[in-house]
Structure formats: structure tokens, C-alpha cells
Amino acid sequence: MAARAGIPLQDMEFWQFHPTGVHGAGVLLTEGCRGEGAILRNSNGERFMERYAPAYKDLAPRDYVSRCMDQEIKEGRGCGPNKDYINLDMTHLGVETIMKRLPSVFEIGHNFANVDITKEPIPVVPTIHYQMGGIPTNINGQVVTQNDKNESVVVKGLYAVGECSCVSVHGANRLGTNSLLDLLVFGRAAGDHIVKFATENAAHKALPANAADASLARVARLDNSTDGEYAQNVADDIRNTMQAHASVFRTQAAMDEGVEKVAALRKRVANITLKDKSKIFNTARIEALEVDNLIEVAQATMVSAAARHESRGAHTVNDYGDTAAHPNGRNDIDWQKHTLWDSASNSLSYKPVQMKPLTVESIPLAVRSF
């Protein structure tokens, strides 16, 4: 919605993957599974995380575990007939511990994977969990854009909070200890500021006469369509394209190809039809409108990712490996900056990273290691 309204989206190339999404369903299993002692195993039954992170094993950070799982699958040690998932083994924990500590996971195993986790492992794959990017805001939740001097300017009366927003406190890779900041810190800050703003600005500007035209036109296009594609077919192709070209590991060639594929998919989105045009509880209409949202996010991600020629945080690109000049593939000279994607022109601009905290000393950049 913000992108269609002309607000550039920030840092959309940075997506966090959760290591334990149920294979084929995408439902996330709590990291409490591994906290209680669950073990990730490849097709050989090996506890492979011992090779990648000997000190942390299965309790290494989620982005690192996700990459290790993906590497096991890519190297042919995945499980199942298609060798496309990893087994999460909790059988050694015992029925009593599982039912006491992980009852919801037991239910998920039955409902979404058709397995009894007390007797057999559950198939998992790295799954999209959180977007570090989103609608740019300040610490009060106010949406900001950039002026001609590349300075942040508040969009008065518009706020964003939670996962849709980008305060940028998470940088390029959200850590587990940051989980509560979005709502408890910035949510409260936004709420306080909204009350203050509404108190001081009791009179609102009148809406323009054509304020609803764009939204009504989106619905009318579907209602007036006579032929075209089914929304979920296009949505599936968007998902498959993003999985192939912007997944846990990325390559420059794959991302460049993904940019072209997503651009072609955008044309197909414009040709989606709606066969059921009824007005009551029409979920098909909602699904068709949601594909409009999917393609905005997909194109913002793909274009931003392909343009960032480095590895940084959750943006792991095989082409940009570890060197003395660029530790972990990170290039602070050229790419220590925020990406801004504009929907109307499908183009990028950039803004500087604020490295000076308001009240404490700045933490110097350092190489991430285990």
C-alpha cells in the first residue's frame, strides 16, 4: 500500500530465514525445539551442525543454521524422495518432555506433516520469517521519505510499526534478542506520538475528491475482467521465482535473472481475472488483490538484492566471498548505505546509514565469527 502510494521501500533485500519451517506447509516450529535439544539431521542421520558450528551446534543463530541446512540440501544430503528437506529429530526427548514443553509442536506435526514427533522426525526447510526492510520510519513510527538533499522528511499523519516498518534497528540481520523491540519499544513510541499529534492537530486536511479512485479502480478492473489468469497460478510462480532467485544463498547471475522474471510476472499480475464476481465473502477477490501486494514486495526485493554487490547480514551472495578487504564478503566502502526502491519507476536510490546513536557510544563494525 505504501509503495503504491509513492513511498519508497527501504532495505527490501534483507530477509531473515527461519531454519525450521514444516516442509510443504511453511508453518514455523519454535526455536524452543532446538532449545529443548532437538537435533537437525541429514539423509545420513548425521548431526551436521557439529561440522559447521562445533561450539553452538543446532543452537547457532537462525540465519547461519538456515544456510547450513540449505548447503546440506544443495550438496545432495537432503532427506525424502526429492532430497529437499532436513529432518528435525525430537524422538530422544521422550513423550513426557515433548507433551510438557512442546505440545503445540506435537499438534503441528500431526496437522501439517502427518508425523508423530515422539516417534519420528519432522521434515523442515528454511522458511521466510521476517523482513528487515519495509516502510522507512523514524523512532516515533512516523513514515519518512527523502528530500532533494537526501535528508529524511516526515510524512505527517502517517505511521508504520511492526514488521511492515523499517526503523532499521535490525540492520541487515535481525537477532533473536530484538524480537520485542518492534512492538514494545517502537509500538509504544508510535502510540504516544500519535496521541500527541492528534491532540495538537485536531483539524485534518480535507481529503481530495479523488482519494478513493485508485483503490476503486483496482477492484473495478477485476470485476470488469472477462479473461486472464487465475490469481493463485500467478502467486505460485511468484513464490517459486523468489525461492529460486532470492533464497538463503544467492548468486549475482541468479538475482539478475530473477529481476527479469519478476518483471515478466508483474505483467501477468495485471492480467489476472476474477471468475467469481459476487459481493459476499468472496475470498477469490481478496486473493487476487493480495497478488498485487505480493508482486510489489517481490520486485522490491529482487531489484534491491541484485543491485547490492556484496554479502551483508541476511543477503548472502556466493560471488562475494571472504577476503581481507571484504570480511564475510561485506563491502563497507561502497555499500554501507540503505536501499530505497520506488514502485512507480522500479528504480533505486540510496541514503546514508546513521552510525551515531543518540545517547550512547557507537559500536564499531566488526567481523562476525563463531
CATH of domain 213-337: 1.20.58.100
- In CATH terms, the fold of domain 15-131 is Flavocytochrome C3; Chain A, domain 1 (3.90.700)
User: What's the pLDDT at 370?
Assistant: 63
In degrees, rounded to 5, the angle at the alpha carbon of residue 129 between the alpha carbons of residues 102 and 328 is 115
Residues counted in the chain: 370
> Where does CATH 1.20.58.100 sit in the chain?
213-337
How confident is the model at residue 178, as a pLDDT? 81
pLDDT in tens, 34-86: 999 999 999 999 999 999 999 999 999 888 999 999 999 999 999 999 999 99
Distance of alpha carbon 321 from alpha carbon 311, whole angstroms? 8
pLDDT under 70 in the chain at which residues? 370
- How would DSSP label each residue in 331-352? -HHHH-EEEEEETTTTEEEEEE
Q: Rounded to whole angstroms, how far apart are CA atoms 229 and 128?
A: 26
* Catalytically annotated residues: 62
Please state, in angstroms and as integers, the Cα–Cα distance from residue 348 to each residue in 120, 220, 305, 312, 333, following that order.
Answer: 48, 31, 11, 18, 19
Task: Tell me phi and psi for residue 339, to 5 degrees.
Answer: -90, 140
Q: Is residue 132 within 8 Å of residue 170, measured between CB atoms?
A: yes
pLDDT at res. 183: 82
Q: List every span in the chain annotated with CATH 3.90.700.10.
A: 15-131
User: What local confidence, expressed as pLDDT, does residue 367 receive?
Assistant: 79
DSSP structure class, residue 242: H
What would the pLDDT profile of 191-240 be if each residue is shown by its tens digit? 999 999 999 988 878 889 998 999 999 999 999 999 999 999 999 999 99
* pTM to 2 decimal places: 0.89
Residues 311 and 328: their CA atoms lie apart, in Å, by 7
